Amino acid sequence: MTRGVLNRILRVDLTTGKMTVDERDDHYYRRYMGGWNIVADTLLREVPTGADPLGPENRLIFTSGILAGMALSGASRSAVGAKSPLTGGFGATEAGGSFGA
């Protein structure tokens, strides 16, 4: 797709310490565009209904926007999300800066 998107997702199991890499095609990034959309897609697909927000079934997702790393003012955005222990629903936040690059 672009030079900034590597079509890979790093998964880290915090219980076992095991790391795996999932490959994604360009269509995935064209559809979800990074950021909150990838957080929402991952939560909907992988966190079962009724999962404990503080349990091992929840996902803590860090993702960058598709413009992260480009030399454009205000373009580098990152999102973090998970199932919220406060509401039991979708919780996410977004920040600017160089973290996503």
| Joined tokens for residue 100 | 């996503």
Going residue by residue through the chain (101 aa), what tens digit of pLDDT does each one get?
Answer: 455 567 888 899 988 999 999 988 888 888 888 788 889 999 999 999 999 999 999 999 998 877 777 777 777 788 899 999 999 998 988 888 777 66
Pairing mode of beta strands 90-96, 61-64: unpaired
Find the distance separating the first CA and the last CA of the chain, reported in whole Å.
Answer: 16
Is the entire prediction scored with pTM above 0.75? yes
Q: Which domains does the chain have, with CATH numbers?
A: 8-96 (3.60.9.10)
| Whole-angstrom Cα Rg for the chain | 14
Q: Give the CB-side neighbour count of residue 78, counting CA atoms within 13 A.
A: 12
